[in-house]
Amino acid sequence: MKISLGADHGGFELKEAIKTWLLEKGYDVEDKGTYSIESCDYPDYAKAVALDVAAGKSDRGILVCGTGIGVSIGANKVRGIRAALCGDTFSARMSRLHNNANILALGQRVVGPGLALDIVEIWLSTSFEGGRHSTRVDKLMEIEQC
């Protein structure tokens, strides 16, 4: 599975930890930056990862900023994206089972690295349940036409 990763300066360290973990687990990783703790703008990275996922260049995306809020708002503006901001493992699991989230957003200043990696592991290993949730996800995507 190929994962596009992105973060601003507020999420850089957690992105690096996630990247190391993903590579150790054998995932194919596309790192869209940022590459240091120098101040930068989170929409740039949200857009880069979201475009990768929307275009099918990556299977899923993971975005990190200070809170996870900015990158999730940004990513959800790209057609085809369902970005879920998760601060716990239950939400991470449900975002896959019910919402078929294709981007996970995390807040480096909100969750510690241990919890963040548990969230990533669960989010990546949980499949969409389909069934009645497909109808609802289809309705979600129809909102893009408004």
Residue of this chain nearest to ligand RB5 (CB atom): 70
Q: How far is the CB of 71 from ligand RB5 (least distance, A)?
A: 7
Cβ-based neighbours of 73, under 8 Å, separated by 6 or more = 46
Among 3, 5, 6, 8, binds ligand RB5 (CB under 6 A): 8
Among 12, 27, 42, 45, binds ligand RB5 (CB under 6 A): 42
> Toward ligand RB5, which CB reaches closer, 27 or 45?
45
Classify each residue of 88-123 as buried b or exposed e, where b means 16 or more C-beta atoms within 10 Å of its C-beta. ebebbbbbbeebbbbbbbbbbebbeeebbbebbebb
Residues 106 and 122: their CA atoms lie apart, in Å, by: 13
> Toward ligand RB5, which CB reaches closer, 100 or 103?
103
12 binds ligand RB5 (CB under 6 A): no
Point out the catalytic residue in the list 40, 65, 86, 133. Answer: 65
69 binds ligand RB5 (CB under 6 A): yes
Point out the catalytic residue in the list 9, 40, 98, 133. Answer: 98
CA geometry: angle 120, 124, 129, nearest 5 deg: 130
Active-site residue flag, 98: yes
Rounded (10°) angle between helices 113-125 and 12-24: 50
* SS3 call for 80: coil
Positions in the binding site for ligand RB5 (CB under 6 A): 8, 10, 42, 65-67, 69-70
Q: Which residues are catalytic?
A: 65, 98
